Amino acid sequence: MKLLRELLFPAVAVLSAFLVGGVFVLAIGDSPIETYRLLIGSALWWPDGIGYTLFLATPLIFTGLAVAVAFQAGLLNIGAEGQLYVAAFAAAWVGITLAAWPPVVLIPLCMLAAIAAGASWAAIPGVLKARFGSHEVINTIMMNFIAVALVSYFTQYHYRTPGDPIMETAPIGANAHIPRLGRFITGFPERIPVNVAFLLALAACAFVYVLLWHTRWGYELRATGSNPSAAEYGGISIRKQIVVAMAISGGLAGCVGINEVMGYRHLYYDGFSDNYGFTGIAVALLGRNHPVGVLCAAFLFAILSRGGIPVDAFTQHVTKDIVQILQATIILFVAAEGFFRGAFKKFGWSR
Amino acid sequence: MRDLFTAQLVWSTIRLSTPLILAGLGGLFSERSGVINIALEGMMLAGAFTAASVTYAAGNPWLGLLAGAAAGLAIAGIHAVACIRYKANQVVTGTAINILMIGVPGFLSGALFLSSGSTPQIAKEHLLPWTPIVMAFAAVPISWYTLYRTPFGLRLRSVGENPEAADAAGVNVAKVRYSGVLLSGILAGIGGAYLSIGQSSLFTRNMTSGRGFIALAALIFGKWRPVQTMLACLFFGFTEAVTIQMQGVVKLPSGEDIPVQFIQMVPYVLTIIVLAGFIGHSRPPSALGRAYEKER
């Protein structure tokens, strides 16, 4: 019953968002049913659809977990976007510089570089909050812009192949590539870019679950989030918790770089992120800051972004912008859940 | 190098600061009432798209400007209802509005103008290159006066500093906060309108490109006060003007371009430094608010 109630609000929020999106579609003279049939059908039942959906879910699982871990500690990490940029570049940098090293060493090293870069970038606002009390929301927003500018500078001036008009680095060494899942599963075409990073994302969900709910440290982190003064009184160092929580959050966001650079493009492409960091906020919120919820929510948002492409192509007027409208409406409804709580109470469905 | 510091640079600084000042003052009214507004970016985009569409369709920029302000107001209405009525997390709601406003202009322009993300070109005689600049610089003293010399300003600040005390004194906290957030939507909407029907002659996808966040940075850098916020906006506008003027003109001794990325970072780095208290601590001026209350 408790689980049912947990599921009720997110489900109602998603359905309401689809209703609002339907009104938008109707308003410009297209059919909502046809639009949603294309959107969901292409992501789930079309050939290759599910593979691409899993590929698109991978970064969202990482950023969703990142936001969720910070949130459990009472912090709002708006900076996953910047953290994943820095991390992706770090992975590419190691992959280019140490290209000749054997895969056994190079692959873990590239992964570590991404995680460490994301963690350090997130730790800065953590330290600033712990040491000076400056708000992590503002600092993570500012760090996003600094990250984008910094990485774009290195790409443009130091790591671009001379003569390449595109803002991208030289390719990483083949020893740093991680395989696509198609290589292991028969009948699963290798052209689909979903790769080992997806398995890593599933492992990250398990890691976060065990860490937060089955270790002493996770208990302290959640205590910091739910009642900081009581936690402090109980002998927990709030300042330390803030910095460590931000670092773990940033490390998780940094794993997006593993999927992007080592598993997919095999180079750093400037501006690659499709708002993964910000969508991660929606994923965490819809997933109730729990790893299982994050997994489901990431899958839903991946369906939306996969389905946006055929909607763009095969409807009269609807563009893939409908995806952003649906995402934003879902966040608004989940955030303002009092809206539904009031209505439910009126009908006697909820306490 | 000397050629850089010309009348053109001053003019360009004023033009580039205008949308920042309007949005920054908008953020001021919202945040002084106690509602975090990271949705300035989305409100500007709403204003920019609506102003360009209406100006194109009606052939009248005044109508366009009004529509832009109304669009900002409408988006602010969503933020206000979610944050005040339903007590949603203000940062999360702001993020949702920013995502929404990436989508809505593209969605509507696809249907209205059969183009993904931009509006048709507006004729030159239908643009408003001056009015929003005048409005922005006039809004600074008006905001100062409103904030510090009117009963509404006092209520706004008291609600932002200590809503319990304000409530006990008979102030309708929700009403004052609604006014603050809605005002911020109008100002940010006008700031966005200036981008599409003042500075340029059409709306393009994501044309604010982070200006809402720079305005937010200026607000913090300006310590949540109108005149200081304007000065911060002028400074950030100046860095942008320098970036544009330098491109291809000024070179390093080695003959290479100076990387613009480092100048682009300046507002954000400064904001972090100021917020941490390294140069002149920036905090919401709580003491100032309370002193006013006592004097009354």
- Quote the tokens at residue A175: 């020893």
Q: What percent of chain A has pLDDT over 90?
A: 62
Cβ of B110 within 8 Å of Cβ of A339? The answer is no
The full set of domain ranges for chain B reads 2-295
Q: For residues A306-332, give the mean pLDDT.
A: 88
The H or E element that residue B142 is part of is helix B131-149
A39 lies within 8 A of chain B by CB? no
Q: For residues A149-163, give the mean pLDDT.
A: 89
Residues B103 and B160: their CA atoms lie apart, in Å, by 32
pLDDT on residue B243: 81
Higher pLDDT pick, A197 / B220: A197
Query: Which one of 1.10.4160, 1.10.8, 1.10.3470, 1.10.10 gives the CATH number of domain A53-318?
Result: 1.10.3470
User: Which of the 8 DSSP states describes residue A181?
Assistant: G
Please answer whether residues B46 and B39 qualify as being in contact, where contact means their C-beta atoms are separated by less than 8 angstroms: no
A226 lies within 8 A of chain B by CB? no
Burial of A211 (0-12, 13-18, 19+ CB in 10 A): middle
B261 lies within 8 A of chain A by CB? yes
Query: Which one of 1.10.3470, 3.40.1350, 3.30.519, 1.10.1740 gives the CATH number of domain B2-295?
Result: 1.10.3470
Confidence of residue A189 (pLDDT cuts 50, 70, 90): confident
User: Which of the 8 DSSP states describes residue A163?
Assistant: T
Residues A239 and A127: their CA atoms lie apart, in Å, by 8
Interface of A with B in 258-277 (CB under 8 A): 275
- Residue at token pair 């406003």: B101
Q: How far is CA B58 from CA A27, B125, B189, B193, in A?
A: 21, 13, 18, 15
Residues of B in contact with A328 (CB under 8 A): 96-97, 99-100, 103
* 3-state class (DSSP) for residue B89: coil
Return mean pLDDT, chain A. 90
CA distance A80 to chain B (A): 13
Query: In angstroms, how far is CA B202 from the centroid of its own chain?
Result: 19
pLDDT on residue B5: 65
For chain A, how big is the Rg over CA atoms in Å? Answer: 21
Please answer whether residues A260 and A114 qualify as being in contact, where contact means their C-beta atoms are separated by less than 8 angstroms: no
Interface of A with B in 65-84 (CB under 8 A): 76, 78
pLDDT on residue A345: 64
Q: For residues A90-107, give the mean pLDDT.
A: 96
CA atoms within 13 A on the CB side of B290: 8
pLDDT on residue A88: 97
> Which residues lie below 8 Å from residue B212, measured CB to CB, with a gap of 6+?
B23, B38, B39, B40, B41, B42, B43, B44, B45, B98, B188
CA distance B130 to chain A (A): 30
pLDDT on residue B292: 26
Confidence of residue A232 (pLDDT cuts 50, 70, 90): confident
Cβ of B106 within 8 Å of Cβ of A331? The answer is no
ipTM surpassing 0.90: no
Please answer whether residues B118 and B203 qualify as being in contact, where contact means their C-beta atoms are separated by less than 8 angstroms: yes
Q: For residues A7-24, give the mean pLDDT.
A: 90
pLDDT on residue A231: 87
Residues B220 and B218: their CA atoms lie apart, in Å, by 5
Please answer whether residues A328 and A18 qualify as being in contact, where contact means their C-beta atoms are separated by less than 8 angstroms: no
Please answer whether residues B184 and B40 qualify as being in contact, where contact means their C-beta atoms are separated by less than 8 angstroms: yes
Backbone angles phi, psi at A180, to 5 degrees: -80, 155
- Quote the tokens at residue B80: 């206000």
Residues of A in contact with B270 (CB under 8 A): none
**Closest partner CB to B277 (pick from A76, A132, A317):** A132
pLDDT on residue B3: 58
Confidence of residue A351 (pLDDT cuts 50, 70, 90): very low
Residues of A in contact with B216 (CB under 8 A): 138, 141
Torsion angle (degrees, nearest 10) of CA B137, B68, B99, B79: 80
Nearest residue to B137 (alpha-carbon basis) of B17, B235, B51, B41: B17
pLDDT on residue B214: 92
Q: For residues A182-187, give the mean pLDDT.
A: 83
Cβ of B111 within 8 Å of Cβ of A275? The answer is no
Higher pLDDT pick, A125 / A44: A125
Interface test with B, best of A9, A325, A340 (most B CBs within 10 A): A325
Interface of B with A in 6-65 (CB under 8 A): 36, 38
**Closest partner CB to B265 (pick from A131, A149, A322):** A149
B263 lies within 8 A of chain A by CB? no
In chain A, whose CA is at the least distance from the CA of B102? A324
Q: For residues A325-333, give the mean pLDDT.
A: 93
Please answer whether residues A317 and A323 qualify as being in contact, where contact means their C-beta atoms are separated by less than 8 angstroms: no
Confidence of residue A344 (pLDDT cuts 50, 70, 90): low
Q: What is the mean pLDDT of each run of 10 residues along chain B (296 residues)?
A: 72 95 96 92 97 94 97 97 88 92 91 83 90 96 96 92 87 92 97 95 92 92 92 92 75 70 87 77 42 30
**Closest partner CB to B95 (pick from A28, A278, A336):** A278
Q: For residues A140-147, give the mean pLDDT.
A: 94
pLDDT on residue B291: 24
Nearest residue to A323 (alpha-carbon basis) of A337, A311, A335: A311
Cβ of B259 within 8 Å of Cβ of A157? The answer is yes
pLDDT on residue B280: 58
Q: Which amino acid would we find at residue A282?
A: A
Q: For residues A207-219, give the mean pLDDT.
A: 94
* 3-state class (DSSP) for residue B284: coil
Residues A21 and A323: their CA atoms lie apart, in Å, by 9
Please answer whether residues B30 and B180 qualify as being in contact, where contact means their C-beta atoms are separated by less than 8 angstroms: yes
User: Which of the 8 DSSP states describes residue A168?
Assistant: B
